[in-house]
Structure 1
Amino acid sequence: MDFLYWFASYLFVLKYVVYVLSVLLLFFGLDDLFIDLVYWGRKCYRRLVVYRKHPKLHYSKLKEKPEQPLAIMVPAWQEQDVVGPMAELAASTLDYENYHIFVGTYPNDEKTQADVDAVCARFPNVHKIVCARPGPTSKADCLNNIIASIFTFEAQAKFQFKGFILHDAEDVLSPMEMSLFNYLVERKDLIQLPVFPFERKWYEFTSGSYLDEFAEIHGKDVPVREALVGQVPSAGVGTCFSRRAIELLIEQGDGIAFDVQSLTEDYDIGFRLKQHGMSEVFVHFPVLTDSHKQKVKKGSLKSPSYSSVVCVREYFPNTFTTAVRQKSRWIIGIVFQGMKSHAWTKDWKLNYFLWRDRRGGITNFIGFMALLVLFQLGCVWAYQLLSDSAYNFLSIYGDEPWLAAVLWANAVLLGNRMLQRFVFVSRYYGWVQGVLSLPRMVWGNIVNFFANLRAVRQILEIGDVKRVAWDKTSHDFPSLGEQRVNHRPLGEILVELGAIDREQLQSALTQGQRKVKLGRYLMREGLISGEQLGQALAVQADVSYQDCPPLASVEQNELGITKAVARRYGIVGLYKEDGVLTIASEQYLSPVAIGAISRKIGTKVKYVIAQPGQVTLALLMHFSGRAEYQHSALQKRAVWANWSRFVNAHYSELEAISEVAMLSPSVVNQVMIGQESSEDGVGEYLLERGVIGADILQQARQHMQQALAEVLGIDKEESLV
């Protein structure tokens, strides 16, 4: 009897716990229902009224706007083997060229630095930044170092970025992302794209819970927030800030844009910009192509339009421990640091969404408590159902009509929650994931509870919410299905090929009085031939070498290559086979350049390395219009004994200027993007932009003239340049 007494007393206490939980769950359920009603009401209105008057913008319109320079900022602490694949995938998929990636590394993270160095050698638009302090600092501190380096690069290249984009090293970018930012950045100061995690195996509920939460939050909650208050919380990835926004943040922060003590600096910035009247937007922009329509299987419940939106994809943690660590960081930053940094405002609508941000500190505990109570009551109910002589313990819950009404209301609201979750997950991932999202609601609740518990424990241990350290989470990246290439020094390759020995290499490297590249210096000194240099450059670029006699080159317009494209990239078309155009270059072409050439020509391309001067001379023959470079004039010269030396002595004005001015490949790459649409020559364009002075241009042209004069045996002032 003692047991029954104590057990009945326990159930009696539990009854009042049920009272409190039921009321709280009803309150939070009605809160969520309000967001649901606003979303679906707004969706119906836009479909029935707005889109009949104003058709949706087609994605093809994005490309009509000229490309503006955009900077992608990537904080990287212990991200070895992730940054490289990200840059490669971006280069091969982004339908955009005028962008740069700035990777922030730390002086005590040598592995990540080495990985970034290898990437920078292949991609002139990727830059390594080394933070001033050893890591890990905060993500905000890393971003501040990156921004400072971006401004330095702008000063060197004499231009300004229009947009500053936040990304993590593990992000997979949509092909149209840069074009969308480019289209909006002059009108909006904060542009946020949706984040849709990659799917893992069906039974990996931890990573699946991220999938469910982002599908509903970025599918419904954030669009409603933007519609009602015009304020958008940055997700930390897929966020583009206008130059106006960055300059305002720096001004307001006394030279520092991001709050270094914040664990969720992205969330913080959304409010700071809103307070100063900046315009923010959350963009659901579909790119519904025929190929995507064909990929969507009938009966999957996947929406072709919704599943084709421009978004950020990435893998989220798939273990309980890593998920708790990451989510506890979010809880500390948004709930606890947010309450300390952002006071309640005079705008009740904004306060409402501040409340929704902060209620997680309560709902995570309430949800878990509700699960425990439900489990206990379920056990009692099962006992009563299976035992013939069981006491009717649950009868103590049946004498309150209002409780029954509240429980029925909560059941309806729970059913609505499950329906909403199923709909939003199915729209992007299909019905299989939609069904799995329902049991994952329970597991996600458990993960969030322990994340909340960890967050509270960290704050209590440290005593100051602002002093909690950046607890970074490790990441995965999709396999590219190919072997990455390491950039090897040219001198090492020449020695390996037997073109020179190590003594000759060392001697050449110490000849600092000549401002020419190593390969050209060795060729001018007669230590290697043009063919040997071309073969070494091909090995370095990991492409084929091909002898490309200038006089044998075909008319470029027949291959679809215009003067602007040929001059911009220093290429000449050779032949087209099986729908692929083979082009020749004297220098390494990055994957970004290859992608841009392919888009501008309208066909797939691959390139080979030619001997020095072969492409330059071919371009002069096809596009210069100068009599001395006409085909007939060059044919007469081709019978000379020094013809090959004459060809090898030619090199572009851009290469000569780069040597004299010691311009970095990244600066040259950026400057040439703007020069493509200019009628000025390379030298005049760089001079006008202030990248070089008149003395540099004169020296570069003298070097070019001298190179030809040495071959022709005449005075340099009389040479063919």
Structure 2
Amino acid sequence: MGEIETATQAAAWLLAALARELGLFAAIGLAIGGLDDLAVDLLWITRTLWRRATVYRRHARTTMATLPPPEEPGTLAIFVGAWAESAVIGPMLRTALAGIRHRNYRIYVGTYPNDPETERAVLGIGDARVRMVSGVLPGPTTKAECLNRVWRAMLADERESGRRFKAIVLHDAEDVIHPHELDLYDRMIERFDLVQIPVLPLLASESRWAWMVSATYADEFAESHQKSLVLREAVGAAVPSAGVGCAIRREMIARIADESGGLPFSAESLTEDYELGLRVCAIGGRSAFVILPVAPGHGPVAVRAHFPETVEDAVRQKTRWIIGIALAGWDRLRWEGGLTERWMRVRDRRAPIAALVLAVAYAALLLTILCWIVGVDPGWPPALNSLLMLTSTLLVWRLSMRAFFVTRAYGWREGLCAIPRVFIANLIEIAAARRAVMRYVPGRTPVWDKTRHRFPEGAGD
């Protein structure tokens, strides 16, 4: 009996020690991350209140209805990379051609010789405004390699016609392009070198689980594209391209190409769009994140698309983002820029550490519950109790801000649902960070690890 009691006491001590130490680690990490988020929130609130009290008292808010026409209307080139996109590229192109109000544009679609289904879908459009750009390399390569091919094809068209495009617009094969989008770019690109508009993910309706997974993207983009990118521009940090709904002045992208051996997109990167935005800022270009409603009381000019609807696809996509931004970004882009730029890069690259902290926090919570069940006191020191009070307060604030921004974008029902969806988003983030760390090899040329896409039903009919 004595040996059993001794073993039981040792197990209880170990359980309490693990709960206590993991809880301390998680509390410190959550407190640092929470205070970082709080600083961004407070800056955004301050800026918003100041603009309402000053700018918008003197000037009416601009809408597409009141946006002045461009001083020199130009032709815009839309770049679309398409590998294994036969299910969506046809409806996407038909919808774009039928809906875009701008008169002068051309859509370049990069395809692959070993993907005949996608090539047939593009050729089947039969419209002179769509040009397919195939290659000699079998797919998948990287999206950047595909876009570089498209860039060379566009340059050849310019030489043949003797006319230059005004801007390059980036889109994916599953995007629903807003009818007013090119009109906005044609005007705003005269003031800025890079213009990014909001991305509003569509919510899945096929099943409750698909809705829950896809809605985590809606939650994250609603907050990022109403607050984070707005603040980045306000503090003078680089505005990264989202890869869709982004226009780059033709002269700026040519300058980047000249400094990179003739090709503007980094073929060694999985997040060439993100890097492009930072490179524009690094060489002195001006970037803007533009939230512009169509008319008073209407939604903004934005990109809509279906995002992954299964955990597996979401983990794969976020793995690519974490590798490109957090891991390879650390190696490739370093820590250039001023204080605010470095602060934003820390926020961009904290995903693997944040995922570790979250995983430890969940483990500590489970161990603490187990302690309560078996009647063991974890023995938390007063300092840990204070940290837990701080992190709990920051968590309530964080969830409130998330619900606020989702409500603004999708309505109050989705705003309330965004609170429990944070748990699902965290689990996806933890799995993606683990996969990213396991797969990342510095210096190795990445492969386009794509996810499955679908286009909104009926949109391309």
Task: Classify the TM-score, shorter chain.
Answer: over 0.9
In structure 2, the CA distance between the partners of 1:481 and 1:288, relative to structure 1 (3 Å rule), is: closer
Tell me by how many angstroms 1:63 deviates: 6.3
Question: Would you say the 8 A contact 2:355–2:426 is kept in 1?
Answer: yes
Structure 1 distance, partners of 2:66, 2:179, is 15
Which string of whole-angstrom CA distances, capped at 9 and with x for unpartnered residues, describes residues 324-367 of structure 1?
11110000000111011112125111111110111111001211
Question: Would you say the 8 A contact 2:23–2:360 is kept in 1?
Answer: no
Letter in 2 for 1:143: L
SS class of match (1:314)? strand
In structure 2, the CA distance between the partners of 1:191 and 1:198, relative to structure 1 (3 Å rule), is: same
Matches within 5 A, 1:465-504: 465-480=443-458
Partner of 2:163: 159
Partner of 1:326: 317
Tell me by how many angstroms 1:229 deviates: 1.9
Question: Would you say the 8 A contact 2:22–2:361 is kept in 1?
Answer: no
Partner of 1:84: 90
Question: Would you say the 8 A contact 1:230–1:279 is kept in 2?
Answer: no
Over the aligned positions, Cα root-mean-square deviation in angstroms equals 1.6
Partner of 2:439: 458
Partner of 1:436: 417
Partner of 2:330: 339
Question: Would you say the 8 A contact 2:359–2:430 is kept in 1?
Answer: yes
TM-score (norm 1): 0.61
Structure 2 distance, partners of 1:478, 1:52, is 40
SS class of match (1:74)? strand
Question: Would you say the 8 A contact 1:100–1:126 is kept in 2?
Answer: yes
SS class of match (1:467)? coil
Structure 2 distance, partners of 1:161, 1:129, is 17
Letter in 2 for 1:403: L
Matched, 1:55 2:38: no
Partner of 2:148: 144
Structure 2 distance, partners of 1:235, 1:481, is 23
Tell me by how many angstroms 1:130 deviates: 0.6
Partner of 1:658: none
Instruction: Find 1:224's aligned residue among 231, 242, 248.
Output: 231
Letter in 1 for 2:335: W
In structure 2, the CA distance between the partners of 1:58 and 1:215, relative to structure 1 (3 Å rule), is: closer
Tell me by how many angstroms 1:177 deviates: 0.5
Matches within 5 A, 1:259-658: 259-288=266-295, 304=297, 308-345=299-336, 347-381=338-372, 383=373, 391=375, 393-394=376-377, 396-397=379-380, 400-459=381-440, 463-480=441-458
SS class of match (1:88)? helix
Partner of 1:99: 105
Q: Percent identity?
A: 36
Letter in 2 for 1:422: A
In structure 2, the CA distance between the partners of 1:143 and 1:63, relative to structure 1 (3 Å rule), is: same
Letter in 1 for 2:417: L
Structure 2 distance, partners of 1:379, 1:32, is 31
Structure 1 distance, partners of 2:158, 2:460, is 34
SS class of match (1:103)? strand
Letter in 2 for 1:223: V
SS class of match (1:7)? helix
Letter in 2 for 1:454: R
Structure 2 distance, partners of 1:15, 1:167, is 48
Taking CA–CA contacts closer than 8 Å with sequence separation of 6 or more, which of the two structures ends up with the larger relative contact order? 2
Letter in 2 for 1:475: H
Question: Would you say the 8 A contact 2:87–2:454 is kept in 1?
Answer: no
Structure 1 distance, partners of 2:290, 2:237, is 12
Instruction: Find 1:172's aligned residue among 173, 176, 183.
Output: 176
Tell me by how many angstroms 1:96 deviates: 1.3
Which string of whole-angstrom CA distances, capped at 9 and with x for unpartnered residues, describes residues 556-613 of structure 1?
xxxxxxxxxxxxxxxxxxxxxxxxxxxxxxxxxxxxxxxxxxxxxxxxxxxxxxxxxx
Instruction: Find 2:116's aligned residue among 110, 120, 128.
Output: 110
SS class of match (1:160)? coil
Letter in 1 for 2:176: V
Which stretches in structure 2 are left out of the alignment for 5+ residues? none
SS class of match (2:400)? helix
Structure 2 distance, partners of 1:395, 1:448, is 28
Question: Would you say the 8 A contact 1:168–1:237 is kept in 2?
Answer: yes
Partner of 1:13: 18
Partner of 1:23: 28
Which stretches in structure 1 are left out of the alignment for 5+ residues? 290-303, 384-389, 484-721
SS class of match (1:448)? helix
Letter in 2 for 1:396: G
* Worse-superposed segment, 53-62 or 222-231: 53-62
In structure 2, the CA distance between the partners of 1:142 and 1:161, relative to structure 1 (3 Å rule), is: same
SS class of match (2:252)? helix
Structure 1 distance, partners of 2:368, 2:251, is 57
Letter in 2 for 1:227: A
Letter in 2 for 1:457: M
SS class of match (1:241)? strand
Matched, 1:235 2:242: yes
Matched, 1:195 2:186: no
Letter in 1 for 2:249: S
Structure 2 distance, partners of 1:345, 1:263, is 20
Question: Would you say the 8 A contact 1:89–1:480 is kept in 2?
Answer: no
SS class of match (1:333)? helix
In structure 2, the CA distance between the partners of 1:261 and 1:31, relative to structure 1 (3 Å rule), is: same
Question: Would you say the 8 A contact 1:230–1:280 is kept in 2?
Answer: no
SS class of match (2:190)? coil
Question: Would you say the 8 A contact 1:132–1:145 is kept in 2?
Answer: no
Structure 2 distance, partners of 1:364, 1:144, is 33
Tell me by how many angstroms 1:481 deviates: 6.2
Structure 2 distance, partners of 1:482, 1:275, is 39
Letter in 2 for 1:332: I
Partner of 1:210: 217
Which string of whole-angstrom CA distances, capped at 9 and with x for unpartnered residues, describes residues 650-693 of structure 1?
xxxxxxxxxxxxxxxxxxxxxxxxxxxxxxxxxxxxxxxxxxxx
SS class of match (2:201)? coil
**Aligned pairs, number:** 452
Question: Would you say the 8 A contact 1:197–1:314 is kept in 2?
Answer: yes
Question: Would you say the 8 A contact 1:334–1:357 is kept in 2?
Answer: yes
Partner of 1:560: none
Question: Would you say the 8 A contact 1:67–1:179 is kept in 2?
Answer: no
Question: Would you say the 8 A contact 1:108–1:135 is kept in 2?
Answer: yes
In structure 2, the CA distance between the partners of 1:81 and 1:67, relative to structure 1 (3 Å rule), is: farther
In structure 2, the CA distance between the partners of 1:142 and 1:482, relative to structure 1 (3 Å rule), is: closer
In structure 2, the CA distance between the partners of 1:465 and 1:206, relative to structure 1 (3 Å rule), is: farther
Matched, 1:40 2:23: no
Letter in 2 for 1:371: Y
* Worse-superposed segment, 198-207 or 66-75: 198-207
Structure 2 distance, partners of 1:465, 1:53, is 53
